[in-house]
């Protein structure tokens, strides 16, 4: 088992992270999973994958919580993403995730900065630009700039996949 493997090699972040993932996904024990990820990050602070997985866990575990606790979890996720991006600055998905977390925290300048970094790395295009434009629209709306939000969302709609287009339509309907 993973617990036995950890006893044999306690410094092994891959095994530790796999245990945390199972505790989270199979057992659904957020507290224990987050504790294992926190330990893993302390034991091997230079393994970017740990910080990325830890950020995901904080988001998943924080999402259903009341606002104050949710904010705490999202702050921890943002810090984990910041650390991961110091170690792995070319990870476009992590930049996008950071932009989204900062947006949800109401930190719109930081969200814009992270999104700008993702746009720089999206050449050649690996993430559909519609998704980036839609996130930019959501950030603009959060800032209270509805005109810019509408402009960006309509631009994103042109090339969006059906799934993204549905989300954009809902978003636009909510602006009026």
Report the predicted TM-score, pTM, of the whole model to 2 decimal places.
0.89
Contacts 24+ apart (CB under 8 A), 145-153: 146/175, 149/175, 150/175
List per-residue pLDDT tens for the chain, 176 residues long: 666 655 555 567 888 888 899 999 999 999 999 999 999 999 889 999 999 999 999 999 999 999 999 999 999 999 999 999 999 999 999 999 999 999 999 999 999 999 999 999 999 999 999 999 999 999 999 999 999 999 999 999 999 999 999 999 999 999 96
Indicate if the alpha-carbon torsion angle 114, 129, 136, 52 is positive or negative.
negative
């Amino acid at each position: 088992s993973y617990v036995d493997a950890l006893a044999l090699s306690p410094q092994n972040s891959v095994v530790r992270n796999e245990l945390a993932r199972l505790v989270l996904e199979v057992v659904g024990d957020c507290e224990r999973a987050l504790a294992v990820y926190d330990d893993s990050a302390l034991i091997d602070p230079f393994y970017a994958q740990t910080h990325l997985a830890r950020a995901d866990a904080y988001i998943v575990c924080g999402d259903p919580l009341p606002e104050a606790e949710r904010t705490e979890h999202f702050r921890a996720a943002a810090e984990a993403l910041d650390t991961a991006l110091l170690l792995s600055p070319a990870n476009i998905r992590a930049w996008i995730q950071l932009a989204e977390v900062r947006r949800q925290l109401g930190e719109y300048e930081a969200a814009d900065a992270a999104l700008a970094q993702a746009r720089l790395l999206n050449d050649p295009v690996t993430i559909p630009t519609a998704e980036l434009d839609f996130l930019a629209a959501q950030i603009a709306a959060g800032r209270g700039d509805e005109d810019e939000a509408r402009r960006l969302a309509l631009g994103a709609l042109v090339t969006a996949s059906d799934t993204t287009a549905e989300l954009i339509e809902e978003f636009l309907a909510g602006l009026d």
